[in-house]
């Protein structure tokens, strides 16, 4: 290009080479994971939605290709010095990406597990609050709530001179306040220092007298520095006397005065003025350091509670967990000692029983309170057979074992520990001095301990002095803006002091989304992973407005999403598929909504256009006539509610985010069932009881937690199909000739596994402060087995080859083995035919792990008395996958089981037999039963937000007579 052409292009006369790259992200030859060498052009500064069935390659394209390359290029633009701290980033398998911006990922996996991290610290609102209170706050005494402010001598003199004329007063220097002792040395030194009088316990005495004090009584001693009458001309003497007083008493001066009276008799109505030149309460001596932001930080030793170091809780052994079954005899009641050889401890308990009159066969709940306390917390005991010794107590013994034991012992004892609120700060994390500081009418806890909506109201209603307002104005603006961002993404029910580790994936992601809006960046590529997770339909509009606001700032948003409302609101849609795993990885449709709806091969388009429909069943199940009744539930925000859960039905628990669904099911119902079935956990205290527990013989939670935390765990081992496969290989002629048993084909025990990697296929490299790195084993090359084991073949395939098969391939391969077919077919039924049998559990998504658990339960023989508790099973699932999931759930219920699902997905709710709707709002405005009944009945309830959206979807998909409620 000539200089003339270049100048012309700059002036706008000629198109600059690749000018379209300013408005386009061009991807060529993407082959990461299952992507099939795809080419794609994406418009910049638009809201782009990647959709498609689960496992089709959406995350591979969005996160592992586009975001990974954007992050890698940014990091490589930094200096070599900076890069050494960030590490080397692998280049994704893609030929080229052009027009890429610096990328920021907002996903669900980066929720902080640090107990010090809170909603306030993650959003940085707490940092602004610390600055606000540190610069504009007013310190108060934590004991008497008196306002504390340092005063100069001039201010003290001005205050004294406000007394009435002829007022008599004394200047006292408090040198002892509420301390026991005779204080002879102090009195003697005061006399030798030239002082004449002291006031002891309210009585003025001469130092020349012989003063005898009771050493066992607390005394207050104040030195009389001067006695004056208020009149003009005493200011100079008053200044000198106050200076002497402050020096002697370390900054405190007491003015004891008798108001002027016309009577000739002296008045006995004495009053006090207390001054301090320090940040200290003049009455209680509570010392405050000068206010600064660090005083309000629970991550700093200057502000953190000294007992819990700012965490707000202490890990302590719970009596309820240590003794989970009070009806058990003493020798079996203490759970940690009943799991191993406990003859030593039984001898101690026997001696204790001899000393305090109980037998080991006595039920725990029949012991006296004194006996129970002695067993748990210790006492000195004597018996006929043993000399006098100290019994430390069960809890102290366990505490000592936990603190000084090995990692294995600590791991075993973890189950008996709970987080108890710190007894010093009561869970408030800060020192009393910090908690006593006020800004206007509020303490810092009054702003962090209430919902974000309430916090915003209090910030708006702050009553500040002119000086405080001038200091706080800019900070308050920033706090209001950040609080508004949180309100915009539907998190009004959270509190700023809520630990970040207790947030759901969707909540944590929306918090980071609100933080990014606050940053105000432009020209950035944001990649989001299903931000609508855990969000009620009512709040979807607020989330979409937030996303469009981020786009309108001049950013490009790529959102991996299945939510219909988000897909319809997108500027550009990319549908990846057509199937999952090896059947996916292709671009099926791209463009606007119309292009998606008209794409024949698109499953997403088929459901959105109505070509495929999840039908609403015409008949709701009657159930088995039994039910569970929860009485007076009042944990967290639940408001003393009674809930009846019918059995033999598919029941959904719904409600806006934060309304109390998880509290009711996961924190109350499930522990109560565990207590009833196994007696290993205590019955929850926050409810009066549950009726109908005897109708349940098994309770299973199917959540999105991993099926294993190491590469050893995989779908084959979890579902039990690997046991069948090992039996098949051990029955081959080659295996019998070599004398191989099924254990030879296990990679978890010595024998047939590769010992270089202990059967993992990878070696773990510990990186100290960085995450562990997994490197493929150089001996077996990831096969997990030694050469002799791999020589045994079944249908020309080794055991390692079988583990590398997809579920669909294995189903065909083992079609003549009924036990294997049963388990493999259920994996296909839940839509997991594309995953590999030996795929490490650590590589499965939360939705995939949840469906592996569902498939495992589906393959078991039904008892008809099982209750399944499932928490948002549609997370990460497309319309097609939800359809398959509903088929599975309906099959489980048809076997006579009961399913209780926490869900926001309207397709699941309308296909349920019974709906329990909580609300009306989230947080402290929720926790009530709003509606209960069939989906049709809830849809007619005007108070239910769920009902309002349910009514619309029932009109769109009216009930149809179907088989299993989902065809």
Instruction: Flag whether 751 is marked binding.
Output: no
Residue 854's alpha-carbon distances to 227, 722, 823, 833, 851, in angstroms, are 87, 17, 11, 14, 5
Instruction: Flag whether 605 is marked binding.
Output: no
In whole angstroms, give the CA distance from residue 820 to residue 153. Answer: 90
Instruction: Flag whether 656 is marked binding.
Output: yes
Three-class DSSP category at 920: coil
Instruction: Flag whether 631 is marked binding.
Output: no
Instruction: Flag whether 57 is marked binding.
Output: yes
**413 membership: H or E segment, kind and range:** helix 407-413
Contact by Cβ (8 Å): 394, 334? yes
In whole angstroms, give the CA distance from residue 311 to residue 293. Answer: 18
**Dihedrals phi, psi of 718, to nearest 5 degrees:** -65, -45
**470 membership: H or E segment, kind and range:** helix 466-488
Instruction: Flag whether 99 is marked binding.
Output: no
In whole angstroms, give the CA distance from residue 772 to residue 787. Answer: 28
Instruction: Flag whether 363 is marked binding.
Output: no
Instruction: Flag whether 54 is marked binding.
Output: yes
In whole angstroms, give the CA distance from residue 580 to residue 575. Answer: 12
Contact by Cβ (8 Å): 118, 130? no
In whole angstroms, give the CA distance from residue 172 to residue 274. Answer: 10
In whole angstroms, give the CA distance from residue 254 to residue 273. Answer: 6
DSSP symbols for 884-914: HHHHHHHHHHHTT-EEEEE---HHHHHT-SE
In whole angstroms, give the CA distance from residue 956 to residue 737. Answer: 65
Instruction: Flag whether 584 is marked binding.
Output: no
Instruction: Flag whether 55 is marked binding.
Output: yes
User: Strand pairing of 650-655 and 914-919?
Assistant: parallel
Instruction: Flag whether 795 is marked binding.
Output: no
User: Strand pairing of 47-51 and 556-560?
Assistant: parallel
Instruction: Flag whether 846 is marked binding.
Output: no
Q: Which residue has the tokens 């990974």?
A: 68
In whole angstroms, give the CA distance from residue 441 to residue 430. Answer: 19
3-state SS record for 366-390: HCCHHHHHHHHHCEEECCCCCCCEE
Alpha helices in 414-465 (DSSP H): 432-435, 444-448, 452-460
Three-class DSSP category at 771: strand
Instruction: Flag whether 56 is marked binding.
Output: yes
DSSP 694: G
Instruction: Flag whether 798 is marked binding.
Output: no
Buried b / exposed e across 541-577, counting CB within 10 Å, b at 16+? ebbbebbeebbebebbbbbbbbbbebbebbebbbbbb
Chain Cα centroid distance, residue 259: 60
DSSP symbols for 522-582: -S-EEEEE-TTTT--HHHHHHHHHHHHHHHHTT-EEEEE---HHHHHH-SEEEEEESSSGG
Measuring CA to CA, which residue among 816, 840, 159, 949 is closest to residue 538? 949
In whole angstroms, give the CA distance from residue 536 to residue 506. Answer: 11
Token pair recorded at residue 851 = 């469906």
Contact by Cβ (8 Å): 260, 167? yes
User: Strand pairing of 38-43 and 650-655?
Assistant: unpaired
Residue 185 CB contacts under 8 Å (≥ 6 apart), including other chains = none
Measuring CA to CA, which residue among 242, 249, 245, 251 is closest to residue 148? 251
Instruction: Find the length of the chain.
Output: 967
In whole angstroms, give the CA distance from residue 458 to residue 463. Answer: 10
**Dihedrals phi, psi of 551, to nearest 5 degrees:** -65, -45
Bind-site residues for ATP: 52-59, 655-662
Bind-site residues: 52-59, 655-662
């Amino acid at each position: 290009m000539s200089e003339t052409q270049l100048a012309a292009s700059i002036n706008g006369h000629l198109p600059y080479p690749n000018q379209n790259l300013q408005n386009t992200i061009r991807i060529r030859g993407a082959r990461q994971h299952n992507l099939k060498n795809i080419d794609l052009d994406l418009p910049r500064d638009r809201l782009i939605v990647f959709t498609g069935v689960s496992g089709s390659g959406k995350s591979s394209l969005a996160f592992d290709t586009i975001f990974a390359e954007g992050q890698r290029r940014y990091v490589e633009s930094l200096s070599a010095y900076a890069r050494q701290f960030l590490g080397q980033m692998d280049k994704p398998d893609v030929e080229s990406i052009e027009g890429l911006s610096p990328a920021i990922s907002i996903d669900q996996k980066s929720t902080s597990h640090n107990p010090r991290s809170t909603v306030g610290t993650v959003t940085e609102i707490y940092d602004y609050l610390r600055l606000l209170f540190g610069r504009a706050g007013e310190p108060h005494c934590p004991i008497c709530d008196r306002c504390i402010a340092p005063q100069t001598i001039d201010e003290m003199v001005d205050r004294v001179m406000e007394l009435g004329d002829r007022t008599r007063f004394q200047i006292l220097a408090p040198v002892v306040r509420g301390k026991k002792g005779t204080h002879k040395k102090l009195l003697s030194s005061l006399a030798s220092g030239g002082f004449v009088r002291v006031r002891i316990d309210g009585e003025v005495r001469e130092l020349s007298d012989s003063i005898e004090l009771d050493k066992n009584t607390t005394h207050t001693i104040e030195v009389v520095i001067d006695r004056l009458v208020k009149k003009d001309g005493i200011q100079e003497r008053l200044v000198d006397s106050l200076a002497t007083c402050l020096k002697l008493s370390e900054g405190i001066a007491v003015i004891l005065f008798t108001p002027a009276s016309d009577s000739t008799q002296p008045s006995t109505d004495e009053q006090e003025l207390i001054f301090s030149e320090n940040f200290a309460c003049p009455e209680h001596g509570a010392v405050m350091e000068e206010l600064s932001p660090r005083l309000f930080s629970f991550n700093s030793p200057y502000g953190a509670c000294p007992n819990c170091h700012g965490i707000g809780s202490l890990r302590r052994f719970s009596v309820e967990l240590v003794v989970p079954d009070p009806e058990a005899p003493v020798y079996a009641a203490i759970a940690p000692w009943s799991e191993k050889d406990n003859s030593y401890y039984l001898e101690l308990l026997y001696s204790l029983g001899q000393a305090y009159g109980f037998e080991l066969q006595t039920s725990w709940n029949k012991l006296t309170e004194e006996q129970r306390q002695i067993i748990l917390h210790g006492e000195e005991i004597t018996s006929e057979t043993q000399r006098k010794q100290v019994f430390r107590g069960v809890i102290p013994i366990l505490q000592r074992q936990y603190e000084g034991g090995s990692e294995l012992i600590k791991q075993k004892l973890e189950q008996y520990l709970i987080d108890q609120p710190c007894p010093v700060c009561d869970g408030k994390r800060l020192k009393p001095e910090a908690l006593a500081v006020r800004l206007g009418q509020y303490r810092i806890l009054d702003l962090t301990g209430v919902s974000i909506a309430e916090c915003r109201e209090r910030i708006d209603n702050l009553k500040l002095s002119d000086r405080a307002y001038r200091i706080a104005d800019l900070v308050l603006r920033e706090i209001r803006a950040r609080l508004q961002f949180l309100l915009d993404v539907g998190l009004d029910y959270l509190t700023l002091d809520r630990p970040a580790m207790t947030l759901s994936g969707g909540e944590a992601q929306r918090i980071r989304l609100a933080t990014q809006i606050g940053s105000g960046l432009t020209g950035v590529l944001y990649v989001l992973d299903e931000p609508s997770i855990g969000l009620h339909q009512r709040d979807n509009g607020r989330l979409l407005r937030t996303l469009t606001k981020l786009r309108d700032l001049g950013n490009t948003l790529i959102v991996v999403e299945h939510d219909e409302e988000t897909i319809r609101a997108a500027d550009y849609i990319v549908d990846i598929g057509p199937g999952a795993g090896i059947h996916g990885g292709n671009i099926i449709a791209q463009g606007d909504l119309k292009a998606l709806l008209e794409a024949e091969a698109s499953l997403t388009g088929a459901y959105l256009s109505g070509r495929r429909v999840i039908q609403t069943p015409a008949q709701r199940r009657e159930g088995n006539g039994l039910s569970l009744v929860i009485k007076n539930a009042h944990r967290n925000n639940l408001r003393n509610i009674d809930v009846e859960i019918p059995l033999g039905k598919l029941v959904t628990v719904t409600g806006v985010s934060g309304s109390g669904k998880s509290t009711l099911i996961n924190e109350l119902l499930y522990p109560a069932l565990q207590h009833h079935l196994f007696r290993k956990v205590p019955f929850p205290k926050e409810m009066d009881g549950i009726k109908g527990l005897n109708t349940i013989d098994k309770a299973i939670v199917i959540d999105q937690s991993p099926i294993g935390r190491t590469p050893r765990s995989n779908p084959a081992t979890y579902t039990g199909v690997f046991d069948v496969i090992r039996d098949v290989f051990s029955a081959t002629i080659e295996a019998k000739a070599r004398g191989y048993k099924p254990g030879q084909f296990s990679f978890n025990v010595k024998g047939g596994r590769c010992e270089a990697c202990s059967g993992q296929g990878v070696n773990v490299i510990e990186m100290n402060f960085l995450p562990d790195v997994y490197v493929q084993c150089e001996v077996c090359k990831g096969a997990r087995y030694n050469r002799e084991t791999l020589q045994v073949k079944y249908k020309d395939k080794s055991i390692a080859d079988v583990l590398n098969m997809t579920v669909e391939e294995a189903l065909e391969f083992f079609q003549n083995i009924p036990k294997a077919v049963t388990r493999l077919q259920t994996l296909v039924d839940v839509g997991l035919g594309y995953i590999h049998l030996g795929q490490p559990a650590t590589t499965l998504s939360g939705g995939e792990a949840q469906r592996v658990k569902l498939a495992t339960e589906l393959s078991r023989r039904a008892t008809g008395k099982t209750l399944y508790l499932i928490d948002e099973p549609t997370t990460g699932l497309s319309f097609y996958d939800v359809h398959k999931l509903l088929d599975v759930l309906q099959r489980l219920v048809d076997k006579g089981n009961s399913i209780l699902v926490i869900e926001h997905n309207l397709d699941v709710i309308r296909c349920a037999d019974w709906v329990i709707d909580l609300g009306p709002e989230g947080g402290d405005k929720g926790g009530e039963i709003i509606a209960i009944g069939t989906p049709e009945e809830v849809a007619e309830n005007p108070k239910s937000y769920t009902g309002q959206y349910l009514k619309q979807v029932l009109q769109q998909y009216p009930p149809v007579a179907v088989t299993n409620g989902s065809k």
